[in-house]
Chain A
Amino acid sequence: MKSKILILLMMPLMACLLFACANTKSGALIHPEAVTGTPNCTECHTDAYAAMNHQAVDFFKKHSVFASNARRACASCHAESFCSDCHAHKEELKPNVKFSEAVERNLPHRGDYMSQHRIDGKINPASCAKCHGRTNNERCLTCHK
């Protein structure tokens, strides 16, 4: 019992010590250069930020890892609404309907998705849950009682 109490007391002390010793400078709140269109991060960056090149053929696949590892980097250009445009759980307008003029963006569900969703849902149903969530989704319930 005493050892457990000691561990519980030591943990916050250790965390404070590690926090104090880190002394890293926080990332920029706002990207220092204005960026328009779909950026090619390699034009300026040669470090890990270069891997976030939005024009890369596999950026769409990897963006979730960047969002987990470097959310602050994302937030230096994108407002929170950028995530919720797709990862909304409760949403009635498809991303490509809201942003039909953004033809170059990798917006899912183009065309009449009513018929295509049966195909995509069969091919990779896990991809649906990433944006629509794991708990009951009203849109799904309209047909999937």
Chain B
Amino acid sequence: MISHEKRSGCEQSSLLKIAWVMLAASSVTLAQPVMAADYTITGSSNTYLRMTRTINKEDLYPLYEYLRFSVTAAEKDGSATSLHVGAWGRVDLFDKSTDHYTDGDLQYGYLSYQAAKNNLLVNAGRQFITEGVATERVDGLYVRSDFAAGITAAAFAGSPVVTTPNYKGGDFIYGGRVAQGKPGLYSVGVSALRDESDKAHDREEEGIDLWVHPVKQVDLTGRSSYNSITGGWMEHAYTLSVAPIDAVTVSADLSRINYEDYFYSVTTTAFALQPGGLLDPREKVTAAGVSAAWTPVKNLTVAAEYKNYGYELLGSADYVGGKVAYTTADALSLGASGHRMDGSSDRTRYYDYRLYALKKTGHTEFGVDFYNVIFDRPIDGVKSSYALTGIAGYEVTEKLKVGGDIEYSQSPDFDKEWRALVKVAYAFDMKCGEKGGKSEK
């Protein structure tokens, strides 16, 4: 339950967010007559009605509405000013007995300016920032640009977005990334992030990242992040791809995560570090994998993959398997996969399989998706956990689509469970001028 005091704080925060969006919207509206040469307005409404039950067998009929809206005013010189807003809301049609029968979130809402030169970008508002060590949702300001000598730089500052009302997730977050590279050949970046709240939850992280593409056939990407507070490396993650011929790609990846450094100051209780607990701070995992994919004919991919997880405390686990996929754009998707996970505990010793097919005929589509996990030893009396989903959709017009699915599942938590979902998707765009826009996808 949320106290009145906390709810008030939450409401104040929501009002501030709305004010942000209104301010941004007003800015665009007022500026457009002066600036714009081409306008593009895109938006979408996705409505979902889900019929499901809780683990306690209580019926739930949540109705969700996802609204996305963008307006872009593009200049003839290539620059553009735009506003992007995305939010969702939910009301449960059946159970209104708790405070939680309605909910929602403003996922993003920001005003953006993109210059014609130097890839200059300025965003203001709620946004998702991906710059080196930062993968954050922030209410604030973000600026990036190209500079001479192949240098690019980005900086951001603002308030971290925290979606849980009973935790204060930081007052101020800021950071940036500087990279140097040659387009199409390499890019090396250094980045840093600071989150200032209280001493127990401050974050100070630095990182290096690289992307090397020396020849068409070779591509190396990776990132290392360092926790200055704990004085240790949080994560290393690198992937090397080699395509000796067009039809074959071989990929190798290597990662290492130190739990004490990675999960430091993570406030999600599921990640609480406790010796001998759910996450042990002494744990370190090194994962090394290799995969190979072959495309004998267009749209058909055959892949095999292997990954080893080496834990300091938990022992090790191997994940090996393969998949076959055939996909043609807007017509047919077929796929099958199978893997074996071989770990040191009952829960990490299982086979998983997936089969799917989806066929589009004219305006109609039908599909089936089957996912199965077979444990070596039953979990809560269940040896085979599976979900079988039937899918149907109909394109009423180019902009309006209706569809749904029905799922039958059996798992350690749900016994012979039926779920259903109905959805209505409406996407629209309006253009003034010659330049088009992307759909909200």
Contact = CB atoms under 8 A, between A and B. Distances in A.
A93 B413 contact: no
Nearest to A112: B411
A92 B414 contact: no
A2 to B, nearest CB: 26
Interface residues of A, number: 87
Given A26-B116, A69-B179, A112-B409, A57 B293 contact: yes
B347 A118 contact: yes
Interface string B102-116: 010101100000111
B347 A122 contact: yes
A13 interface: no
A84 B130 contact: no
Nearest to B333: A104
Interface in B201-227: 209, 211, 213, 216, 219, 221-223
Given A80-B108, A114-B414, A138-B164, A58 B291 contact: yes
Nearest to A72: B119
A123 B349 CA distance: 11
Contacts of B267: 134-136
B162 A135 contact: yes
Contacts of A93: 48, 50, 64
A83 interface: yes
A112 to B, nearest CB: 4
Contacts of B281: none
Contacts of B343: 123
B325 interface: yes
A21 to B, nearest CB: 4
A137 B335 CA distance: 33
A114 B438 contact: no
A37 interface: yes
B151 A136 contact: no
A145 interface: yes
Interface string A8-45: 00000001011101111111011100001110001000
Interface centre among A15, A65, A84 (most CB of B within 10 A): A65
B357 A103 contact: yes
B305 A57 contact: yes
B196 interface: no
Contacts of A92: 62, 64, 90, 103
B70 A79 contact: yes
Contacts of B37: none
Contacts of A126: 235, 257, 262-263
Contacts, number: 323
User: Would you call the interface of chain B mostly helix, strand, loop, or mixed?
Assistant: strand
Given A36-B330, A114-B414, A145 B147 contact: no
Interface string B425-441: 00000000001111111
Contact of B163 (A37, A82, A110, A138): A138
Interface in A119-142: 119, 121-126, 128-130, 132-138, 140-141
Contact of A121 (B42, B270, B317): B270
A144 B184 contact: no
Given A24-B118, A56-B293, A93-B64, A30 B413 contact: no
B50 A101 contact: no
B351 interface: no
A22 B348 contact: no
B209 A65 contact: yes
A18 B180 CA distance: 13
A101 B391 contact: yes
B132 interface: yes
Nearest to B179: A69
A115 B380 CA distance: 10
Interface string B234-269: 010001010000100101010001010011011111
A111 B151 contact: no
A34 to B, nearest CB: 9
A137 B268 contact: yes
A48 interface: yes
A116 B250 CA distance: 28
Contact of B441 (A50, A78, A124, A134): A78
A38 to B, nearest CB: 6
A77 B271 CA distance: 35
A128 B269 CA distance: 13
Interface string B171-207: 0000001010001110101000000000000000000
7 contacts: A68-B131, A79-B70, A103-B356, A112-B414, A114-B414, A123-B343, A134-B265
Given A57-B303, A134-B265, 10 more contacts: A22-B117, A27-B119, A37-B330, A58-B241, A58-B253, A81-B44, A81-B86, A100-B367, A136-B166, A144-B270
Interface of B: 42, 44, 46, 48, 50, 55, 62, 64, 66, 68, 70, 72, 74, 78-80, 84, 86, 90, 103, 105, 107-108, 114-121, 127-128, 130-132, 135, 137, 145-149, 151, 153, 160-164, 166-167, 169-170, 177, 179, 183-185, 187, 189, 209, 211, 213, 216, 219, 221-223, 235, 239, 241, 246, 249, 251, 253, 257, 259, 262-263, 265-271, 278-279, 285, 287, 291-293, 295, 301, 303, 305, 309, 314, 317, 325, 327-330, 333, 335, 341, 343, 345, 347-348, 350, 354, 356-358, 365, 367, 369, 371-373, 379, 385-387, 389, 391, 393, 403, 405, 409, 411-414, 417, 421, 423, 435-441
